[in-house]
């Protein structure tokens, strides 16, 4: 593995040192863009039932294509045992921030032992905020946040990020000696059962960045086969309603140019994942720029014009080749220097390819290599990133569910 790639994961847990100050003019500009996005909504469909699927290379709900404009909010996979930021803000306020900036989905990482054994959250401020979270376990806090997200029309994808708190750097397979596949399946079954009737939990990210796996090959490393086994168990023993997100490997098939962890899904073109309900499968690559790991292709004299061919080779042709949606599970970076060039080129590529469904990394400011949508005070927005995401998708679907009616506005 390229040692540079490790820096991304090592730095994700570091605190951002500088709070970015933004002008009132920029804040107003973003607010005006959001107003225009709201005005663009013109079609609302309601039904007593709903079905999220992956077909014709795109996400669909009740047969109608839509885009996910998502953001990761991490913390349940750390030793805090709860999403970060609750030491500074009420969770309702943070959900308001996500919703009011046009997002319709949250990716929520967790660690396996938390699901199996529950835990106690240890970084929540209760003075004048979060008072309804007092005396709750981690899973009970998760329940509260997911229900509050539902009230705001925010969809949820649950992400198995690690087996123990903060061990994602070590968890390169979908199992380890103390967490065999059977225990992983037990955890997924427990969590899926917990939220099977929670309408806004629509997707399960089966394993974050399985960087030591192969696509095919020996049973002990074959992520393609393992992901199908896990998905099929959930479909058979819990429900067939969840979308199953399958991330890529790091170098299988071999990347001609360095892939990031989870980015390489090129093997799906010739060896697709086969699950019992085919239209529940979503491929989910992770893709980053120079601030996460400085790859040789970032130094190419033609950069960033050289990047579309690389993205095509790593994952971009999978939807048109397989018929399954490809939804970015992670991407992001700093809005400065060569990273800003990368972000701009990446947004243009996603628009050109029609691959605008994504989960941005991340809401949290305490992601050292990428930063987040909020500054270190958990209040000040990074308006440059918000504007970039608005440029990528200025009219995402809006969801609601009440009185047994599911509605979506496009």
Residues with catalytic annotation?
Answer: 209, 330
Tokens of 325: 């949606």
d(CA 194, CA 304): 45
Cβ 348 vs Cβ 342: under 8 Å: no
d(CA 410, CA 65): 9
Q: Measuring CA to CA, which residue among 166, 165, 185 is closest to residue 174?
A: 185
**Roughly what angle, to the nearest 10 degrees, separates helices 181-194 and 223-237?**
40
- Contact criterion met (CB below 8 Å) for 174 and 184: yes
């Amino acid at each position: 593995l390229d040692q540079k790639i490790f820096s991304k994961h090592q730095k994700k847990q570091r605190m951002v040192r500088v709070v970015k100050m933004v002008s009132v003019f920029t804040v107003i500009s973003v607010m005006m863009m959001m107003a225009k996005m709201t005005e663009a909504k013109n079609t609302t469909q309601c039904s007593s039932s709903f079905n999220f699927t992956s077909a014709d290379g795109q996400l669909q709900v009740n047969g109608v294509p839509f885009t996910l404009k998502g953001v990761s909010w991490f913390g349940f996979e750390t030793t805090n045992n709860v999403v970060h930021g609750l030491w500074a803000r009420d969770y309702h306020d943070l959900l308001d921030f996500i919703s009011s900036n046009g997002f319709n989905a949250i990716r929520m990482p967790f660690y396996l032992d938390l699901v199996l054994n529950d835990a106690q959250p240890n970084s929540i401020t209760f003075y004048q905020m979060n008072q309804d979270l007092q005396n709750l376990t981690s899973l009970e806090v998760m329940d509260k946040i997911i229900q509050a997200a539902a009230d705001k029309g925010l969809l949820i994808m649950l992400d198995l990020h690690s087996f123990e708190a903060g061990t994602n750097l070590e968890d390169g397979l979908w199992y380890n000696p103390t967490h065999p596949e059977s225990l992983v399946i037990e955890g997924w079954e427990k969590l899926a059962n917990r939220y099977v009737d929670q309408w806004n939990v629509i997707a399960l990210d089966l394993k974050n960045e399985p960087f030591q796996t192969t696509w095919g090959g020996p049973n002990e490393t074959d992520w393609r086969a393992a992901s199908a086994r896990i998905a099929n168990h959930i479909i058979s023993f819990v429900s067939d309603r969840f979308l199953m997100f399958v991330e890529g490997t790091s170098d299988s098939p071999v990347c001609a140019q360095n892939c990031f962890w989870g980015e390489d899904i090129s093997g799906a073109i010739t060896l697709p994942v086969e699950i019992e309900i085919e239209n529940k499968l979503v491929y989910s690559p992770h893709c980053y720029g120079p601030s996460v790991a400085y790859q040789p292709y970032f130094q190419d004299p033609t950069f960033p014009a050289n990047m579309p061919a690389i993205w095509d080779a790593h994952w971009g042709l999978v939807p048109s080749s397989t018929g399954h949606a490809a939804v970015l599970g992670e991407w992001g970076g700093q809005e400065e220097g060569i990273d800003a060039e990368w972000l701009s080129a990446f947004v243009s590529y996603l628009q050109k390819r029609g691959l605008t469904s994504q989960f941005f990394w991340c809401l949290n400011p305490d992601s050292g290599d990428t930063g987040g949508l909020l500054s270190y005070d958990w209040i000040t927005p990074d308006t440059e990133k918000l504007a970039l995401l608005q440029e990528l998708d200025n009219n995402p679907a809006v969801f609601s569910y009440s009185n047994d009616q599911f509605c979506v506005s496009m």
